[in-house]
Amino acid sequence: MHRFAPLFGVLLLALLVAGCVAIPTKTEEAAYSQALVQDAIRLYRSEGRQTTIAHYSSPEHVDGPWYVFIIGEDGYTIAHYVPDRIGRDPALRVDNTGYFYGDDMLSATEEGRWVSYVFNNPETGEETRKHTWIVRHDGLYFGSGWYEVE
């Protein structure tokens, strides 16, 4: 037996355990939202900007209340499953309580940040508090979140 065999076995086990990352469920709203944003950034890295924008501009990629949106470098929405939201002026990011959440979204960093505001829930059609995880990557802002259930 080679003298490094035990070390190799321990290293292999450590790599296997590290590769077993738990995928959050929808009952873990915050973690699930963060995972969707990370998936979007991975798609962007592997497939590029245009493919990612097309992917998240399709209603096929809405999962109940969850969807990913992307904001461009200039603050305008460049990907959203609702076509009317694409090209949305950043000055319009004001909820019905008067809270201007646009600046908070555009202050997100590579580490990400949470922004909460009142928004139309696509499942109910009602204005509901939404919690959005937003991450800046390569000058773009990738976001997803969930709506509070009352």
How far apart (Å, rounded) are the C-alpha atoms in residues 62 and 118? 19
Q: What is the pLDDT of residues 71-119, one digit of tens each?
A: 999 999 999 999 999 998 888 899 989 999 999 999 999 999 999 999 8
Q: Does residue 14 or residue 147 have the better pLDDT?
A: 147
Residue recorded with tokens 């592997």: 46
- What's the pLDDT score for residue 102? 94
pTM recorded for the entire structure: 0.83
Question: Which range (46-50, 94-98, 118-122, 134-138) has the least confidence?
Answer: 118-122
Residue 97 backbone zone (phi > 0: left; psi -120 to 50: alpha; other: beta): alpha
- What's the pLDDT score for residue 8? 45
**Among residues 83, 76, 31, which one has the least CA distance to residue 57?**
83
- What's the pLDDT score for residue 19? 47
Query: Predicted confidence band at 7 (pLDDT cuts at 50, 70, 90)?
Result: very low
Give me the architecture of the 25-147 domain, per CATH. Answer: 2-Layer Sandwich (3.30)
Quick one: tokens of 37? 């944003």
How is the chain split into domains, by residue range? 25-147
Element (H, E) at 11: helix 5-19
